[in-house]
Amino acid sequence: MRELIKKCVRQYKKSSLLSPVFVAVECIFDVLIPFVMTMLLESGIKQNDIMAVVIYGLLLVGMSLTALLFGALSGAACAKASNGFATNIRHDMFERIQDYSFEDIDKFSAASLITRMTTDVNMVQNSYMMIIRIAVRSPLMLLFGLILTISVGGPLAGVFAIVVPIMLLGMVFIFKKAMPIFKRLFKRYDRLNIVVEENIRGMRVVKSSVQEQKEIEKFTSASQDVYNDYTKASKIVVLSNPIMQLCMYIVITLIGFFGARMIIGTSGIALKDTQLSMLITYSTQILMSLMMFSMIYVNVTMSKASVDRILEVLNQQPSIKNPLNPVMTVENGSIDFENVSFSYKGKGGVKCLEDINLHIKSGETVGIIGGTGSSKTTLVQLLPRLYDVTEGSLKIGGLEVSKYDLTALRKAVAMVLQKNVLFSGTIRGNMKWGNPDATDEEIDQALKLSCADEFVYRLNGLDTHIEQGGSNVSGGQRQRLCIARALMSNPKILVLDDSTSAVDMNTDLKIRQGFKEFIPSTTKIIIAQRIVSVMDADKIIVMDNGKISAVGTHEELMEISDIYREVYNSQQGGGDFDGENQ
């Protein structure tokens, strides 16, 4: 926690410090109030002094209002500090994640990053709020209460020597006993949720296989497990209630009895009868604070896991960085792989690409074919340095990719990813991702080239609103918009990673013809499942198991490559009905 606080508190340091200070002031007044109250009763009633009642009364009201003011101030400071702290953490995490390479993103996974930025940050914020407020308040209340009890009641404070250990032992017992059950409980909850999740998702399977009854049995047993453990754990945890009451009652009884003896024994000199209820008030406060503190302790302990997960994100060094004196322009779209090997796990890991040697001239159209797991995608992701080669060298425009400025390189190598997304906003806004300064004419041109113009203008033109993820356009339309977006930056190299699978064959053809005609100098790399999509390429690469199995034109490959022929034959007459004929 300390490391995180040091990193992210920044401008909220003042509030973070003010909050405990204000709380301390509030505490002092809160503790003094019963003390002054005794004076009021003593002088006001015993001495029949109305003036004293008024003066002490005013003093007390003043004190409560001061306590109220400081309490409120501390509450406000605490809100500011803890929210600011959380805001800074989120900011830093987001900033750091922006620098992540693909490798780093893979390492965490998008889902886990989201959890870390939301749930974990929340957890930490709550702990922080407790630390700078309640964690200060409780021990102070305890301390001041104890001091005043000793100063007023003297030996009576001894009761705490009896009660506090009981309470602490009780808390430790509860913590020790309940923790393992809770840990197990979380797993049981997971199991329960998995059953529900799989059931809902697979409802058609459940119904088709007529397995409703079996599912109910599965769920009932999982829910019985949760019930058993939850009940067991709760029964331990709620022991804190009777324990707390027991302690309270012991204190009241002992203070009552020994207090009475003290008052009578010294004729009200060592202890006044008015002070008795004050002592009881303090003891309530002391025990409550103790309880509160132990709860905070548990909470902060539990948030440690979240802190660790956040720090993991913040401390991850981006694995791909800009070179020192970067080259800012990419000359042309030629590509040279020389003995390139790649492993997602770095040197010594399982090689996904092995001994890749490939030379592509600027302006060529290159098709890539291969089964799932043949590393087609991996190969092209090396081009814009989404991953770095593990061994060998990769040159673009005659220069090692690592020499270029990252932004310059990625603008020059436009990728249309396989799992592509559009972002919520207008079509225009999405297109500007490719080139922030693009005019509507330029956007039109790109849309025309990707054959997206006709449906865009049937909708609301460039102002058409796109839902998050692009869910309000069909798969084929989304793919064409993604291609247009990639064209916006006038790339030297354009990579389409299975980007026309949902586009019908005619449109697919039209797009490819357009490329040939309008962006002849751009190197085009097309990964496809359908042979027809790459048949007319200058060069077709057949990938198999991370290796280049064959390179050649369609005709050549039909001669030399068994894999190619096999795929070709299996697709003969393999028209896709799913393409959207427009």
Partner 1 sequence: MAKINKKKPNTANTENLNNPQYVVENSQDLAQNGGENKESKNKKMYKGEDRVKKAPFKTLGRIFKFMLTGKNTLIFIASILCIVLSSYASVQSMAMIEDLLIEINIQLESVKMGLSEAVSYSGILRVITTMVIIFVIGVVASYLQNMLYIELAQRTIRDFRDTMFSKMQYFPVRYFDTHTFGETMSRFTNDVDTMQDLISNSIPNIISSLVTITVCLIEMILKSWQLTLVVLITVFLMFFVIKGLGAKSAHFFIKRQYSIGKLNGYIEEMMSGQKVVKVFCHENENQANFNVINEELNENSTKANKYANIFMPIMANLTYVQYVLIAVVGAVLANYNLLTVNDTTVSYSAASIAVISAFLLLSRSFTRPINMVSQQFNAVVMALAGAGRIFDLLDTEPETDEGYVTLVKAHYNEKGEIVEGKVGDWFYAWKHPHGDGTLSYTKLEGHVLLKNVDFSYDGEKQVLFDITVDAKPGTKVALIGKTGAGKTTISNLINRFYDIDDGKIRYDGININKIKKEDLRRSLGVVLQEINLFTDTVMENIRYGNPEATDEQVYAAAKLVHADDFIKRLPEGYNTVLTLDGSNLSQGQRQLLSIARVAVADPPAMILDEATSSIDTRTEKIVQDGMDNLMKGRTVFVIAHRLSTVKNADNIMVMDGGKIVEQGNHDELMAHKGMYYSLYTGSTLE
Q: Which is nearer to partner 1, 385 or 539 (CB)?
A: 385
Give 328 or 361: the residue with its C-beta nearer to partner 1. Answer: 328
Contact segment (CB under 8 A) with partner 1 among 198-206, 357-365, 450-458, 548-556 equals 198-206
d(C-alpha 340, C-alpha 389), whole Å: 7
Which residues are bridge partners to 551 per DSSP? 541
Centre a 10 Å sphere on the Cβ of residue 365 and count the other Cβ atoms it contains: 21
- The answer to whether the beta carbons of residues 530 and 571 sit under 8 Å apart is yes
Question: Does an H or E element contain 367, and which?
Answer: strand 365-369
Which 57-86 residues touch partner 1, going by CB under 8 A?
Answer: 57, 60-61, 63-65, 67-68, 70-72, 74-76, 78-80, 82-84, 86
Q: Which lies closer to partner 1 via its Cβ, residue 198 or residue 538?
A: 198
Spatial distance between the Cα atoms of 6 and 559, rounded to a whole number of angstroms: 66
Q: How far is the CB of 339 from partner 1 (least distance, A)?
A: 26
Residue 329 engages partner 1 in binding (rule: CB under 8 A) = no
The CA-CA-CA angle for residues 537, 456, 419, to 5°, reads: 55
Residue window 449-478: x/- pattern of binding to partner 1, with contact defined by CB under 8 A:
------------------xxxxxx------
3-state DSSP assignment of residue 360: strand
Tell me which stretch binds partner 1 (CB under 8 A): 26-34, 158-166, 170-178, 553-561: 26-34
Q: What is the DSSP string of 446-460?
A: HHHHTT-HHHHHHTT
| Dist. CA 474–CA 43, nearest whole Å | 84
The SS3 of residue 494 is: strand
| Pairwise CA distance, residues 328 & 505, whole Å | 38
Q: Which of 339, 407, 460, 513 binds partner 1 (CB under 8 A)?
A: 407
Report in angstroms how near the CB of residue 126 gets to partner 1 at its nearest: 10
For position 166 contacting partner 1 by CB under 8 A, the verdict is no
Among 351, 410, 512, 539, binds partner 1 (CB under 8 A): 410
Compute the distance between CA of residue 15 and CA of residue 20 in angstroms, rounded to an integer: 9
∠ Cα 367 368 369 (to 5°): 120
Interacting positions 98-137 with partner 1 (CB under 8 A)? 98-102, 105, 110-115, 117-119, 122, 129, 133
Q: Cα–Cα distance between 524 and 471 in angstroms, integer? A: 28
φ/ψ bin of 419: left (φ > 0), alpha (ψ from -120 to 50), beta (otherwise): beta
Piece in contact with partner 1 (CB under 8 A), picked from 52-60, 160-168, 175-183, 444-452: 52-60
Q: Which residue has the tokens 């792989």?
A: 337
171 binding partner 1? (CB under 8 A)? no
Give the range of 48-56, 142-150, 337-345, 346-354 binding partner 1 by CB under 8 A. Answer: 48-56
Residue from 479, 481, 473 nearest 429 by CA: 481
Each residue 415-454 as x (binds partner 1 by CB under 8 A) or -, in order, gives: x-x-xxx-xx--------xx-x------------------
93 or 456: CB nearest partner 1: 93
202 near partner 1, judged by CB under 8 A: yes
Sole binder of partner 1 in the list 529, 538, 545, 565 (CB under 8 A): 529
Q: From the CB of 34, what's the least distance to partner 1, in Å? A: 8
**Could you tell me which residues come within 8 angstroms of residue 221 by beta carbon, excluding any fewer than 6 positions away?**
none
Task: Report how far residue 405's alpha carbon sits from residue 53's, in angstroms, rounded to the nearest whole number.
Answer: 80
| Residue 186 interacting with partner 1 (CB under 8 A) | no
Please tell me whether residue 6 binds partner 1 under the rule CB under 8 A: no
Q: Which is nearer to partner 1, 277 or 445 (CB)?
A: 277
Toward partner 1, which CB reaches closer, 30 or 444? 30
Site for partner 1 in 223-282 (CB under 8 A): 223-224, 226-227, 230-231, 234-235, 238-239, 241-242, 245-246, 248-249, 252-253, 256-257, 260-261, 263-265, 267-268, 273-274, 276-277, 280-281
Closest approach of Cβ 343 to partner 1, in Å?
19
Q: Which is nearer to partner 1, 440 or 467 (CB)?
A: 467
Backbone angles phi, psi at 519, to 5 degrees: -125, 65
User: What's the token pair of residue 487?
Assistant: 């064209």
- 11 part of the interface to partner 1, by CB under 8 A: no
For residue 440, give the nearest of 470, 406, 463 by alpha carbon: 463
Of 94 and 357, nearer to partner 1 (C-beta) is 94
Q: Is 45 in the site for partner 1 (CB under 8 A)?
A: yes
Tokens of 72: 């409120």
Q: Phi and psi (nearest 5°) for 326? A: -70, 150
